[in-house]
């Protein structure tokens, strides 16, 4: 039987090492790669097509939520488990909408990580009790119109590319550096930056950083 192949994505090397040790104790499971930021996670998931991805939310270059969206678009058969310290309702809603099959708090990882990955391996879902309650209440069965009526998260006002640029700018990168990371011309990057600042009514990078933290695009 082919091994169950897993990609680990977390910006802390010690966390990845602990997760790898725990997962590779399981017979038939193989950690095929590690990623230290969201952009690398998307690249490796696209190339390696793992059976499962375990990914944190707060990561540099491209946050975990945006990475989940891009991974699900690139390799829709891959099952994603979000492993994070955050459990806010808006973030959970966005993770579910992005297509993650599991959501686990880091504080519960020692006890539940193997069970969570095994659930995904068996084509099931695994959620923390708070997320399970949201599912039971029928959130996933609601129409887009109903979800919007509950209050759309502020960050969803931006396009995927705009969210990427917000993160890079909030991390202190210049328009030239943003252009290099995303393969854009400097002029295009500057145009995106101006449109984003106007759209969010931000008048300084400081305000943009506050927006990014508030919407879990970067960690505080």
> Does residue 135 carry a pLDDT above 80?
no
pLDDT of residue 154: 52
> Does residue 219 carry a pLDDT above 70?
yes
Query: Where is the domain boundary, 123, 145, 167?
Result: 145
In a 13 Å sphere around the CA of 179, the CA atoms on its Cβ side amount to 13
Whether residue 159 sits in one domain with residue 141? no
Alpha helices by DSSP H, 24-88: 38-48, 64-74
Whether residue 138 sits in one domain with residue 58? yes
Secondary structure letter of residue 175 according to DSSP:
H
Query: Where is the domain boundary, 145, 173, 200?
Result: 145
Distance CA 130, CA 113 (A): 16
The strand pairing partners of 212, in sequence order, are none
Domain count, the chain: 2
Distance CA 109, CA 100 (A): 17
pLDDT band at 138 (very low <50, low <70, confident <90, very high): low
pLDDT band at 142 (very low <50, low <70, confident <90, very high): low
Whether residue 140 sits in one domain with residue 159? no
219 within a domain of the structure (yes/no): no
Whether residue 189 sits in one domain with residue 112? no
Distance CA 162, CA 180 (A): 15
Task: Kindly report the CATH number assigned to the domain that includes residue 132.
Answer: 3.40.50.2300
Q: Considering the entire predicted model, what is its pTM?
A: 0.77
Whether residue 127 sits in one domain with residue 91? yes
More confident residue, 49 or 205: 49
Whether residue 140 sits in one domain with residue 45? yes
pLDDT band at 36 (very low <50, low <70, confident <90, very high): very high
Q: Which residues contact 82 (CB under 8 A, 6 or more apart)?
A: 55, 56, 57, 64, 68, 95, 100, 102, 103, 104
pLDDT in tens, 62-112: 999 999 999 999 999 999 999 988 877 778 878 888 889 999 988 888 889
pLDDT band at 144 (very low <50, low <70, confident <90, very high): low
Mean pLDDT of the chain: 86
pLDDT in tens, 152-186: 455 547 888 898 999 899 888 899 999 999 999 99
Q: Which domain holds residue 134?
A: 4-145
């Amino acid at each position: 039987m082919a091994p169950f192949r897993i990609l680990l994505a977390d910006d802390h090397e010690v966390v990845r090492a602990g997760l790898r040790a725990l997962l590779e104790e399981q017979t038939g499971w193989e950690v095929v790669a590690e990623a230290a930021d969201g952009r690398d996670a998307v690249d490796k998931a696209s190339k390696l097509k793992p059976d499962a991805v375990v990914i944190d939310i707060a990561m540099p270059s491209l946050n975990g939520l945006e990475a989940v969206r891009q991974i699900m678009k690139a390799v829709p058969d891959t099952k994603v488990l979000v492993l994070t310290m955050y459990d806010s309702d808006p973030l959970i809603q966005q993770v579910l909408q992005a297509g993650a099959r599991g959501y686990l708090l880091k504080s519960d990882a020692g006890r539940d990580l193997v069970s969570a990955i095994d659930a995904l391996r068996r084509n099931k879902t695994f959620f923390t009790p708070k997320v399970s309650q949201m599912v039971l209440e029928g959130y996933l069965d609601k129409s887009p119109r109903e979800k919007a009526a509950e209050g759309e998260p502020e960050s969803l006002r931006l396009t995927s590319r705009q969210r990427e640029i917000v993160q890079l700018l909030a991390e202190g990168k210049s328009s030239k550096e943003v252009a290099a990371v995303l393969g854009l011309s400097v002029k295009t990057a500057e145009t995106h930056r101006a449109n984003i600042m106007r759209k969010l009514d931000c008048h300084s990078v400081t305000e943009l950083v506050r927006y990014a933290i508030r919407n879990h695009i970067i960690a505080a």
